[in-house]
Structure 1
Amino acid sequence: MKRLLIPLVMILTIASTAAKSTDSPTMTDHPELAKAFSERNVDGAFVLLDVAANELHAVNPSRLAQRRFPASTFKIANSLIALETGAVRDENEIIPYGGKPQPVKAWERDMSMRAAVRVSNVPVFQELANRIGADAYAQWLEKLDYGNRMTGGNKEAFWLRGPLEISPLEQVEFVAALARGTLPASSENQATVRDMLLIERRGAATLYGKSGWSTSTNPQIGWWVGWIEHGEAIFVFALTIDVADRSDVDQREPLVRALLKALDVYG
């Protein structure tokens, strides 16, 4: 396996989450795992942060510092911001979707923020965005140090069509802090968001995650980010792929699961 020293910009991005270690994190390149992408006919990159070991494992590391629209992976931060600002009473408050026809039938109903995260309900989160407001977003994106922290004044779509962008390395930094409960937000609200992201428990391991898909670029962008808890160990991951065809979107979760299994983390 090829081991690389991370450039300074990457070290600054990751160091705050990697167990506060004084050692510069190392990255292990796994070129043998690139076949997981080629077998599915998709281009992309994957990074796994072993928080306790302060080590990154990467597939196609040249893409890991590239910022892209976060799409629905921003619902992780957005849910936390909604709770912190009081835009919702709690994660179970029913939020109106607005009554307009939607491209996804499952979005055409009022639902809680918890349910909206599960089905990536855009109009429900746009209602929350209107409640939160541009000024609060600006403050919280700065506070959370989320990606490039830009909204461009477009509070209803800045995470879908820009200008907000985030890299896979920044995704694992942010998600690792949430998983450890060290974001600058209340511990209760962080715990609530973590619970909203729970996907499954398998033996002693628990999988958390959130997908994302932006159709506003060419090629389109697919994400899957999250983490594994296994006892005291935390493994945070971020996948990004180029979506050239609708069928590519369905490859995100299977691809992550295959890579986690190959790295002997989960599965």
Structure 2
Amino acid sequence: MTRSLLLPSRRDALILAAALPLATPAIATGAADLKQPFRAEGVTGTFALVASDGGAPVLVDPARARRRYVPASTFKIPNSLIAFEAGAVADADAIVPYGGTPSRNPAWNRDMSLREAMPISNVPAFQQVARRVGLPAYRDWLARLDYGNRDPGTVVDRFWLEGPLTISALEEAGFNLRLARSGLPASERAQALTRDIVRLEADGGATLHGKTGWFVKRGQTSIGWWTGWVERGSRIHAFTLNIDMPQMAMAPKRLAVGRAILKTLGVYG
């Protein structure tokens, strides 16, 4: 059986303890092969899922699930929360001016709100926001949120794209669970605004939230991410997936693997 339902380590227990306990049914059990979706797509990676019932995490490749990587654009989730809390952006529909420098994606080259910037992963827009927030506020908020290694380094608009900020799949799933439950040390307003702009779709009484990311840096392994959570009534299952992703052409594989696992577990789809 390739699914690992492990007794939580002390760190895992702290991640899970942030969720309020609920009397909810367990996710699907049995001899499901959770590595099969990775094999089907020809990729190597990990998947971590934590649930609001406080049970043990579901981990594919537990060692990798605990290994920290640069979060890339998945940091747009906490970045939005921090921006709202720091007053750098008034709300999800406030316009962030286009800086005027052409980017690699023509869709980014205009003024837009975070609500518009999130689904197209507008890097320059969030870099503009980061300059408004400033490094002192990031140091404060990354520590408050207990986000990964908490390190924004010295370059305010690159630390989540190139490092030194890193986070593990398990830690990121735990962060998502706290956000979904309004359990972060931040205002309810900021958490609600952030949840709203990462809502992807609804199906069969469940709502899916999520954000992708891609870390690329010369000389280092390129990592593709998909992170989010599923709400079904009072039940929440938060997840994070990462894979080795040397080419952008592999981007659809992140969602293909993640959706297949969520479906196998009976969480979504």
Contact 1:29 1:60 in 2 (8 A): no
Question: 1:31 & 1:264 partners in 2: Cα distance?
Answer: 11
Counterpart of 2:111?
Answer: 110
Q: Which structure ranks higher in relative contact order (CA pairs < 8 Å, sequence separation ≥ 6)?
A: 2
Counterpart of 2:259?
Answer: 257
Question: 1:29 & 1:129 partners in 2: Cα distance?
Answer: 45
Counterpart of 1:24?
Answer: none
Counterpart of 1:17?
Answer: 18
For residue 196 of structure 2, what is the amino acid of its counterpart? Answer: D
Counterpart of 1:233?
Answer: 235
| TM-score, normalised relative to structure 1 | 0.92
| Deviation of 1:203 (Å) | 2.3
Count of residues in correspondence between the two structures: 260
Percent identity, aligned pairs only? 47
Question: 2:30 & 2:65 partners in 1: Cα distance?
Answer: 12
Alignment of 1:219 onto 2:208: no
Question: 1:15 & 1:234 partners in 2: Cα distance?
Answer: 12
Alignment of 1:84-95 (within 5 A): 84-95=85-96
Question: 1:30 & 1:149 partners in 2: Cα distance?
Answer: 37
| Deviation of 1:17 (Å) | 2.4
Question: 1:8 & 1:233 partners in 2: Cα distance?
Answer: 24
Contact 1:16 1:173 in 2 (8 A): no
For residue 176 of structure 1, what is the amino acid of its counterpart? Answer: L
Deviations along 1:23-51, whole A, 9 cap, x unmatched? xxxxx997822121111111100011122
Q: 1:104 to 1:30 in 2, by over 3 A?
A: farther
Contact 1:73 1:224 in 2 (8 A): yes
Alignment of 1:113-128 (within 5 A): 113-128=114-129
For residue 266 of structure 1, what is the amino acid of its counterpart? Answer: Y
- Any unmatched runs of 5+ in structure 2? 23-28
| Deviation of 1:53 (Å) | 4.6
- 3-state secondary structure, aligned to 1:219: coil
| RMSD of aligned alpha carbons | 1.8
Counterpart of 1:147?
Answer: 148
Counterpart of 2:60?
Answer: 59
- 3-state secondary structure, aligned to 2:6: strand
Contact 1:29 1:59 in 2 (8 A): no
Q: 1:84 to 1:146 in 2, by over 3 A?
A: same
| Deviation of 1:190 (Å) | 0.6
- Any unmatched runs of 5+ in structure 1? 22-27
Contact 1:72 1:210 in 2 (8 A): yes
| TM-score, normalised relative to structure 2 | 0.91
For residue 169 of structure 2, what is the amino acid of its counterpart? Answer: P
Worse-matched range after superposition: 65-74 or 212-221: 212-221
